[in-house]
């Protein structure tokens, strides 16, 4: 969480940093700040609120001169979101200034030591402790800034991406990384620093991604020197050519990124299977699987680890892997897995799913699985992300940047990749007939058009949203492949509209949740023709006889549910294993419209961040 941006070069730093922070607001948006060096003084402005509030503050009270500076957009960990706790933070002398993404876990004991030595603190943050530790080291050891940062970081426990500036050394910015991402954009006589590459896309396509436990001194004239924090050894900078385009990270005429991303799903799914799904040839080509086929096929079981929406995609994959490939699967919350001493062996294959590729719990769970000898396969969207690099092999989802905090296209493209893997393994194992395999390939190829068709229901869905926007609680029910979709539908509603919602397997209702049902309770039931249809219809009858409001997500042409439900939303027909790719669409649109009608901040819901890099 938190986004950091820095600039050193010939341009005015302020607009570069400000616009960069706006692009990183998906990482946190409860406060923001920028410090600039104008050739003589540091000028710092920070505020609780969004980057827009910071911009207004700068407009009122500060000049914005300076060709070097660092900025921050925050997701609070230590200390409530307020002006004082916002970054950047000064050291006691006022010479050093820092922005930080991460958590310094042993900050309390370091703070005690610094207090004894006369340091004072104005904020409640761990970051202010770190900058004063750096200052203390610099003073006592009589070393330069880079060395002081290195010595200080060897004393801290936790995670960080930092940028530090010393007003007495205005030609350099020192950066370091452990656990949180950090990219350096290499321009012509200028350098950019950012949590991801989006802030500098229009200036340079050349980027260096620091590895964990690396630091860099970024000097205006002398360039970049990268070292290992622990042993001081020099690292050769590896400059990558970015494939991202600016058009991919703007709203492109939509009111919100979430809506844009919902509508991008037909293309995103196609991009995901492009080059992999070869229908005519009757094959699935995936290098990450092909290169490790024996290891994967000989696995005792697959353990899927993920968080949030990615965990829901993992749950869908449990059905596909077991159903088609007959491989036992366990789906684990990464945060639980990593702390419960799980039994993992070399015969296990772990699939880690993450849109951002930066989720701290998933990353830690991967490291744990690797340490026990398991083979770890990553399913990530962000190319070059920490998880993509940490895993033994993997497959990208190729969904393009997802900026709305609520995951949409990440979910459907993750399911697409996992379906491809399951089908491929099923074919290799011989657990699927040739004709069934071919039928799946053909149906998968048709999904983008069917998603497009499902999106055409938008106006109707808007009317349904209008009817239920004032609900205080909602239930989402589904069975089989659509049980995880019910969970995902409920998550979408709660995270952007703040309406309490729960997802359940439809048959579980009678074991408790049915007690909640009365005429105030909207129940969204996924009742497509393929997949326990009659059973779900019986569940709908049970809701109806208790006066619950029923909104059915049904297959085109459905009659039975239509006769029972208050509203239905149709999706095209497909084979059972692919229904989640269609039933998800109306639930995403419903949540979106309800949140807009309630005047909520759809792309930046309260208390959340897109990339959860703290545990
Ligand atoms: O980047 P990841 O896929 O690892 O993120 C996992 C969750 O934080 C994420 O899916 C979160 O639940 C979304 N906000 C849901 O819309």
State mean pLDDT over 23-48: 92
d(CA 246, ligand 1 centre) in Å: 23
Residue 260: active-site member: no
Please, which residues have CB within 8 angstroms of residue 280's CB and are 6 or more apart in sequence?
none
φ/ψ bin of 33: left (φ > 0), alpha (ψ from -120 to 50), beta (otherwise) = beta
Catalytic residue among 2, 307, 380, 474, which? 2
Q: 150 and 30, same structural domain?
A: yes
Three-state secondary structure call for residue 414: helix
Report how far residue 365's alpha carbon sits from residue 274's, in angstroms, rounded to the nearest whole number: 30
Which of 262, 337, 359 best tests ligand 1's pocket when mutated (most atoms within 8 Å of CB)?
359
Single out the residue of 232, 141, 214 nearest to residue 178, CA to CA: 214
Question: What is the domain-level CATH number for residue 468?
Answer: 3.40.50.10490
351 and 467 in a single domain? The answer is: no
pLDDT-derived band of residue 607, with 50, 70 and 90 as boundaries? confident
Looking at the structure, tell me whether residues 70 and 207 fall in a common domain: yes
Last residue of a domain, one of 197, 214, 248: 248
Expressed in angstroms and rounded, the spacing between residue 554 Cα and the centre of ligand 1 is: 27
Q: pLDDT tens digit string along 498-550?
A: 999 999 999 898 898 889 999 999 999 999 998 789 899 999 999 988 889 99
Asked if residue 615 belongs to a domain, the reply is no
Shared-domain flag, residues 388 and 517 = no
Ligand 1 in reach of 356 Cβ (< 6 A): yes
Q: Are residues 411 and 278 in the same domain?
A: yes
Å from CA of 126 to ligand 1 middle: 25
Give a yes or no: residue 614 inside a domain: no
- CA of 608 relative to ligand 1 center, distance in Å: 10
What is the model's pLDDT at position 45? 95
What pLDDT score does 62 carry? 66
Residues 431 and 350 in one domain: yes
For residues 375 and 318, the answer to whether their CB atoms sit within 8 Å is no
Helix (H) or strand (E) holding 56: helix 51-61
Pairing of strands 348-354, 393-396: unpaired
Q: From ligand 1's centre to the CA of 610, what distance in Å?
A: 7
**Does the structure show a pLDDT above 80 at 50?**
yes
Dist. CA 307 → ligand 1 center (Å) = 6
Looking at the chain, how many residues does it have?
Answer: 615
Residue 386 shares a structural domain with residue 476: no
**Does any ligand 1 atom lie closer than 6 A to the CB of residue 612?**
yes
Q: What is the DSSP letter of 179?
A: B
The domain total for the chain is 3
Mean pLDDT for the chain? 94
Q: Which helix (H) or strand (E) holds 15?
A: helix 13-23
- Counting from 1 in the atom list of ligand 1, the atom nearest the Cα of 492 is 16
Q: What's the rounded Cα separation, in Å, for the pair 80 and 529?
A: 49
Task: Give yes or no for residue 293 having a pLDDT over 90.
Answer: yes
For residue 265, give both structure tokens: 């799903």
Question: Which residues lie across from 350 on neighbouring strands?
Answer: 303, 376
Q: Which residues contact 90 (CB under 8 A, 6 or more apart)?
A: 42, 44, 96, 97, 131
CB 560 within 8 A of CB 227: no
> How many degrees, rounded to 5, is the angle at CA 463 between CA 460 and CA 465?
110
- For the CA of 610, the nearest atom of ligand 1: 14
As a whole-number percent, the residues of the chain with pLDDT over 90 amount to 85
Higher pLDDT among residues 61 and 419, named by residue: 419
Q: How far is the CA of 408 from the centre of ligand 1 (A)?
A: 10
Q: Which ligand 1 atom lies nearest to the CA of residue 382?
A: 1
Q: Is 406 in the pocket of ligand 1 (CB under 6 A)?
A: yes
Residue 407 in contact with ligand 1 by CB distance below 6 A: yes
DSSP 498-549: --EEEEEEGGGGGGTGGGG-STT-EEEEEE-STTTHHHHHHHHHHHHTTT-E
The percentage of the chain sitting over the pLDDT mark of 70, rounded to a whole number, equals 100
313-349 in b/e burial notation, b at 16+ Cβ within 10 A? Answer: bbbbbbbbbebbbebebebbbbbebbeeebebeeebb
Residue 231 belongs to domain with CATH number = 3.60.20.10
Residues 50, 170 share a domain? yes
Tell me the DSSP string of 272-286.
HHTTTEETTTTEE--
pLDDT of residue 612: 81
- pLDDT band for position 63 (cuts 50, 70, 90): confident
Nearest CA to ligand 1 atom 8: 308
- Given this model, what pLDDT does residue 177 score? 96
Q: Which residues contact 539 (CB under 8 A, 6 or more apart)?
A: 477, 506, 507, 509, 525
Cβ(595) to ligand 1 under 6 A?
no
Instruction: Tell me, letter by letter, the H, E, C secondary structure of 86-146.
Output: CCCEECCCCCEEEEEEEEECCHHHHHHHHHHCCCCCCCCCHHHHHHHHHHHHHHHHCCCHH
Question: Per-residue pLDDT for 483 more than 70?
Answer: yes
Q: Say yes or no: 574 and 432 in one domain.
A: no
In whole angstroms, what is the distance from residue 352 CA to residue 349 CA? 10
Please, are residues 243 and 199 in contact by the beta-carbon 8 Å criterion? no
In a domain, 133, yes or no: yes
pLDDT at position 157 is 93
Q: Identify whether 610 is a catalytic site residue.
A: yes
| Helix then strand then coil, % of the chain, to nearest 5 | 40, 25, 35
Q: What's the pLDDT score for residue 332?
A: 96
Question: Please, is 356 exposed, middle or buried when counting C-beta atoms within 10 Å of its C-beta (0-12, 13-18, 19+)?
Answer: buried
Q: Would 555 be classed as within a structural domain?
A: yes
3-state per-residue secondary structure call for 314-367: HHHHHHHHHHHHCCCEEEEEHHHHCCCCCCCCCCEEEEEEECCCCCHHHHHHHH
Rounded Cα distance between 29 and 270, Å, is 32
Ligand 1 in reach of 359 Cβ (< 6 A):
yes
The answer to whether 614 touches 103, Cβ cutoff 8 Å, is: yes
Judgement on whether residues 367 and 496 belong to the same structural domain of the protein: no
Q: Is the pLDDT at 246 greater than 80, yes or no?
A: no
Gyration radius of the chain's alpha carbons: 26
105-235-190 Cα angle (round to 5)? 90
- Ligand 1 within 6 A of 554 CB? no
Give pLDDT, residue 26: 82
Of 248, 277, 292, which one is at a domain's C-terminal end? 248
Dist. CA 148 → ligand 1 center (Å): 36
List the one residue out of 134, 130, 50 whose CA is nearest residue 86: 50
* Nearest Cα residue to 257 out of 607, 582, 605, 606: 605
The residue from 248, 267, 283 where one domain ends is 248
- Measured CA angle at 331 (ends 538, 308), to 5 deg: 85
Same domain, 426 and 333: yes
Whether residue 176 is found in the same domain as residue 67: yes
Q: Dig out the tokens for 578 from the structure.
A: 């692919």
- Measured from the CB, is residue 506 less than 6 Å from ligand 1? no
Terminal Cα-to-Cα distance of the chain (whole angstroms): 10
CB of 310 sitting under 6 A from ligand 1: yes
Quick check: is 565 in a domain? yes
**By three-state DSSP, how is residue 295 classified?**
helix
Q: Give the pLDDT confidence of 150-207 residue by residue, as tens digits.
A: 999 999 999 899 999 999 999 999 999 998 889 999 999 999 999 999 999 999 999 9
Is residue 497 over pLDDT 80? yes
Q: Which of 309, 353, 361, 491 gets mutated to test ligand 1 (max ligand atoms within 8 A of its CB)?
A: 309
| 98-117 residues labelled b (16+ CB within 10 A) or e (exposed) | bbbbbbbeebeebbeebeee
362 lines ligand 1 (CB under 6 A): yes
What is the rounded CA–CA span in Å between residue 334 and residue 356? 14
CB of 419 within 6 A of ligand 1: the answer is no
Q: Is the CB of 385 under 6 A from ligand 1?
A: no
Task: Report the nearest atom of ligand 1 relative to the CA of 408.
Answer: 16
Residue 61 belongs to domain spanning: 3-248
CA–CA dist 217, 201 (Å, integer): 21
Ligand 1 centroid to residue 13 C-alpha, Å: 32
In a domain, 264, yes or no: yes
Going by pLDDT thresholds of 50, 70 and 90, the confidence category of residue 209 is: very high
Q: Within a domain: residue 550?
A: yes
Residue of 46, 427, 450, 610 marked active site: 610
Q: Decide: 146 and 174 in contact? Cβ < 8 Å.
A: yes
118 part of a folded domain:
yes
């Amino acid at each position: 969480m938190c986004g950091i941006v820095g600039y050193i070069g010939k341009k005015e730093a302020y607009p570069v940093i400000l616009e960069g922070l706006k692009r990183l607001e998906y990482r946190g948006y409860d406060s923001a700040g920028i410090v600039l060096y104008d050739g003589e003084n540091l000028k710092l402005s920070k505020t609780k609120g969004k980057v827009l509030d910071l911009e207004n503050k700068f407009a009122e009270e500060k000049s914005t001169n300076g060709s070097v500076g660092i900025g921050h957009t925050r997701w609070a960990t230590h200390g409530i979101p307020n002006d004082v706790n916002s970054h950047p933070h000064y050291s006691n002398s006022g010479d050093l200034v820092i922005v930080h993404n991460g958590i310094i876990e042993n900050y309390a004991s370091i703070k005690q030591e610094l207090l004894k030595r006369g340091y004072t603190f104005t904020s409640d943050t761990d970051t202010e402790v770190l900058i004063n530790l750096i200052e203390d080291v610099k003073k006592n050891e009589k070393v330069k800034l880079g060395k002081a940062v290195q010595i200080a970081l060897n004393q801290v426990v936790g995670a960080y991406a930092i940028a530090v500036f010393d007003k007495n050394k205005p030609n350099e910015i020192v950066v370091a990384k452990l656990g949180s991402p950090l990219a350096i954009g290499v321009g012509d006589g200028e350098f950019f620093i950012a949590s991801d590459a989006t802030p500098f896309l229009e200036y340079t396509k050349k980027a260096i991604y620091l590895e964990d436990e690396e630091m860099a001194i970024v000097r205006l004239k002398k360039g970049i020197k990268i070292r290992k924090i622990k042993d001081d050894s020099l690292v050769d900078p590896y400059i990558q050519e970015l494939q991202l385009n600016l058009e991919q990270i703007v709203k492109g005429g939509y009111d919100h990124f979430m809506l844009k991303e919902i509508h991008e799903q037909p293309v995103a799914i196609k991009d995901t299977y492009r080059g992999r799904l070869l229908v005519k040839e009757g094959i699935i080509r995936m290098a990450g699987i092909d290169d490790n086929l024996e290891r994967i096929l000989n696995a005792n079981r697959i353990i899927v680890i993920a968080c949030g929406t990615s965990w829901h995609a993992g749950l869908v994959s449990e059905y596909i892997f077991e159903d088609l490939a007959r491989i036992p699967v366990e789906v684990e919350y990464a945060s639980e897995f990593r702390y419960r001493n799980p039994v993992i062996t070399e015969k296990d294959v772990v699939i880690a799913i993450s849109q951002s590729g930066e989720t701290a719990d998933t990353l830690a769970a991967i490291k744990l699985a690797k340490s026990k000898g398991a083979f770890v396969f990553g399913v990530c969207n962000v190319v070059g992300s920490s998880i993509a690099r940490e895993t033994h092999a993997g497959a990208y989802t190729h969904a393009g940047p997802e900026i709305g905090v609520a995951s949409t296209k990440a979910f459907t493209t993750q399911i697409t990749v996992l379906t491809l893997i399951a089908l491929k393994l099923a074919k290799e194992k011989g657990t699927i007939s040739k004709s069934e395999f071919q039928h799946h390939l053909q149906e998968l190829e048709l999904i983008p058009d069917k998603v497009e068709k499902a999106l055409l229901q938008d106006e109707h869905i808007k009317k349904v949203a209008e009817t239920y926007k004032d609900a205080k609680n909602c239930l989402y029910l589904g069975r089989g492949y659509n049980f995880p979709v019910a969970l995902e539908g409920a998550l979408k509603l709660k995270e952007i509209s703040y309406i309490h919602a729960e997802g359940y397997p439809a048959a579980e209702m009678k074991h408790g949740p049915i007690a909640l049902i009365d005429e105030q309770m909207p129940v969204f039931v996924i009742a497509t023709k393929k997949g326990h249809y009659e059973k779900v219809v019986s569940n709908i009858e049970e809701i109806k006889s208790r006066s619950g409001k029923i909104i059915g997500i049904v297959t085109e042409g459905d009659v039975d549910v239509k006769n029972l439900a208050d509203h239905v939303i149709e999706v095209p027909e497909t084979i059972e294993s692919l229904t989640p790719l269609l039933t998800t669409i109306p639930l995403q649109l419903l949540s979106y419209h309800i949140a807009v009608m309630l005047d909520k901040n759809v792309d930046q819901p309260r208390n959340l961040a897109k990339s959860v890099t703290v545990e």
